[in-house]
Amino acid sequence: MEMPEVVSVEEWQQAREELLKAEKELTRAQDALAARRRRLPMVAFPGAYTFDTPLGPRTLTELFEGQRQLVVYQFMDRGPDHYCPGCTGFTANVPAGALAGLAERGATWVTVSDMPLAQIEAYKARMGWTLPFVSSHGSSFSRDSGAGGGFLLSVYLRDGEDVYQTYRTYSRGVDPLVFANSVLDLVPYGRQEEWEDSPAGWPQHPTYG
204 falls within a domain: no
- The Cβ-side half-sphere exposure at 167, using a 13 Å CA radius, reads 17
Is residue 74 within 8 Å of 146, Cβ to Cβ?
Answer: no
CATH number of the CATH domain containing 91: 3.40.30.10
Position 54 in a domain: yes
Residue 122 lies in a domain: yes
How would you label 55-65 residue by residue, b for 16+ Cβ within 10 Å and e otherwise?
eeebebbebbe
Q: Which long-range contacts (CB under 8 A, 24 or more apart) does 84-90 make?
A: 84/151, 85/208, 86/151, 86/208, 87/151, 88/127, 89/178, 90/151, 90/174, 90/177, 90/178
Segment 46-73 shows an average pLDDT of 95
Question: Does residue 9 fall inside a structural domain?
Answer: no
Number of domains making up the chain: 1
Query: pTM for the whole thing?
Result: 0.91
Show the 3-state SS of the chain. Answer: CCCCCCCCHHHHHHHHHHHHHHHHHHHHHHHHHHHHHHCCCCEECCCCCEEECCCCCEEHHHHCCCCCEEEEEEECCCCCCCCCHHHHHHHHHCCHHHHHHHHHCCEEEEEEECCCHHHHHHHHHHHCCCCCEEECCCCCHHHHHCCCCCCEEEEEEEECCEEEEEEEECHHHHHHHCHHHHHHCCCCCCCCECCCCCCCCCCCECCCC
Task: Tell me, yes or no, whether 16 lies in a domain.
Answer: no
Looking at residue 36, its amino acid is R
Q: In this predicted structure, what is the pLDDT of residue 208? A: 66
Amino acid, res. 88:
T
pLDDT level of residue 172 (50, 70, 90 thresholds): confident
How far is 76 from 207, CA to CA, in rounded Å?
Answer: 18
For residue range 106-160, what is the model confidence (pLDDT) as tens digits? 999 999 999 999 999 999 999 999 999 999 999 999 999 999 889 999 999 999 9
Q: Say what the pLDDT of residue 47 is.
A: 75
Q: Among candidates 136, 166, 162, which has minimal Cα distance to 149?
A: 136
So what's the pLDDT on residue 207?
79
Question: What number of other Cβ atoms are within 10 A of residue 124's Cβ?
Answer: 16
Residue 35 within any structural domain of the chain: no
Asked whether the predicted pLDDT for residue 184 surpasses 80, the reply is: yes
| Residue range of the domain that includes 55 | 43-175
Inform me whether the pLDDT recorded for 63 exceeds 70: yes
User: Is 7 in contact with 15 (CB distance < 8 Å)?
Assistant: yes
Is residue 134 situated within a structural domain? yes
Flag whether 7 is in a domain: no
Residues 6+ apart with CB under 8 A from 67: 103, 106, 107, 108, 158
